[in-house]
Amino acid sequence: MERLDSEIHAFAAYISPTTAESAARDAIASRVRRFIENAIGRSNRKIHTDVFGSEQTGLALAHSDIDIHVSDRKWTQYDSQPKFGTYYSFGKIMKPLAERLKNTSEWICVSFRHSAYPIINAQHRESGIDVQIVCAPPTIPQQEWTAKYMNEMPNLKALYSVLRVMFGVRGLVDVFNGGIGSYGLFMMLVAALKRGERSTNPPVTIGEQLMHFLKFYAHFDMQKRGLTLSPVAKPFLKHDFKDAPPTPYIAAAKARGDPVRAGQWAIGRLRPLQPYLLSLQDPAKPTNDLGRKSNAMKHIQDTIAELSVAMQENIAAIELARAHGSAWEGESLLEPLVGRAHEIFADRRQRVEEWGKAAAQSHSNKAGRGRAKVPSSQQDGVPQKGEEIAQAS
């Protein structure tokens, strides 16, 4: 397990953005936000943009998309809270924005999806960084729960990095394609580890925690049970309401002040055609089922089961080799999970790295020219007249 521990930490460090990559991501995020505000902020609408998702929570990987939230500034007012259809209507503004992005030389692969929550996807031509612009409800509660769990469980970020790549290289993350989603994957990890803490032999090291995640979901009966994280992580029974809806049970739970149980009645209903879907209750919103759109869940669980067996076999082989005083012939314990990710991302990361260094150098040159225009007395640290008055007052 010591080798697995060190490999997890090493991989997490490798897959995190470098200084130049972070500079590139920051620069691209700023460019996108300025473009949006200039493009659709010229009308009577006052547009607000902010970065959310993994960039905000600190879980961003070197190749992660940059998520930009766009909204009308008046929505922040209590008496102007948007209704569900308001986000869809905002798509009428986002569609021309997508067209403007297409007509610039800076962006490629621009697409617009006019759904309940309109989304624009684009890629920065020079750096290759992907950007997603979305009009949707704020994710502040989700970010707060993410931060809470990361503070409680120091190994979460490194474990998430491994799992995010593990599912990502197999195309099992994107919800639009039936994946679990980044936030859903994070909560899957938290749920498994929280359940492990309550077991008779809880996983302690980061390697043990990774193996616990794989074993937990390889054997979890998703047709019979769902998972909740609040107030404690535990399974709950799914229900088959063929003749009667669960409405009375939901109302009763709400009446006794139990929104979590009310949410479980709401999301825990078996779907006749997809009884295998994972019901994962969002701690930030009890009626939100994080697994409801994960149509590839059977494939996800089968993948986890296969990888769990492969990892156990490799660990056993290492222990056997050690007992015989010989070296294990394998290259990496994590290879069954993440493949040769360093080769997959090498060209892409080099491209971002070079663009980030160039952007940082350009910014430094501009700052240097700006300093050159400052009077010598300010450069030497001599206070000007206005500064002297301010200090004396």
| pLDDT tens for each residue of 114-158 | 988 999 999 999 999 999 999 988 889 999 999 999 999 999 999
Between CA 272 and CA 281, with CA 189 as vertex, the angle to 5 degrees is: 45
CA dihedral 263→264→266→268, nearest 10 degrees, is 150
Q: 20-138 has which fold?
A: Beta Polymerase; domain 2 (3.30.460)
Would you list the DSSP string of 254-306? HHTT-HHHHHHHHH-BPPTT-TTS--BEETTEEEEETTTT-TTHHHHHHHHHH
Rg of the chain, C-alpha, whole Å? 25
| pLDDT tens for each residue of 168-194 | 999 999 998 999 999 999 999 999 999
Residue 70, pLDDT above cutoff 70: yes
Q: What does the alpha-carbon distance between residue 143 and residue 152 come to, in Å, rounded to a whole number? A: 14
Count the Cβ atoms, other than its own, within 10 Å of residue 13: 10
The predicted structure's pLDDT at residue 1: 74
pLDDT band at 95 (very low <50, low <70, confident <90, very high): very high
Q: What φ, ψ does residue 81 adopt, rounded to 5°?
A: -65, 130
pLDDT, the chain, mean: 88
Residue found under tokens 């749920």: 191
Between CA 109 and CA 120, with CA 115 as vertex, the angle to 5 degrees is: 25
Between CA 305 and CA 315, with CA 311 as vertex, the angle to 5 degrees is: 150
For residues 215 and 245, is the Cβ–Cβ distance under 8 A?
A: no
What share of the chain has pLDDT > 90, as a percent? 68
Structure tokens of 199? 């077991």
Delimit the CATH 1.10.1410.10 region(s) of the chain: 142-304
Q: How far is CA 120 from CA 59, 66, 93, 184, in A?
A: 22, 12, 11, 21
**How many CA atoms does the CB half-sphere of 60 hold within 13 Å?**
23
Higher pLDDT, 66 or 76: 66
- What is the rounded end-to-end Cα distance, in angstroms, of the chain? 64
Delimit the CATH 3.30.460.10 region(s) of the chain: 20-138
Q: What does the alpha-carbon distance between residue 262 and residue 253 come to, in Å, rounded to a whole number? A: 5
The predicted structure's pLDDT at residue 372: 58
For residues 94 and 121, is the Cβ–Cβ distance under 8 A?
A: no
* Contacts (Cβ under 8 Å, ≥6 apart) of 53: 60, 64, 65, 67, 139, 182
DSSP class of 171: T
What is the pTM assigned to this prediction? 0.87
104-108, 254-258, 387-391: which has the minimum mean pLDDT?
Answer: 387-391
Name the nearest CA neighbour of 65 among 119, 107, 115, 122: 122
Q: 142-304 has which fold?
A: Poly(a)-polymerase, middle domain (1.10.1410)
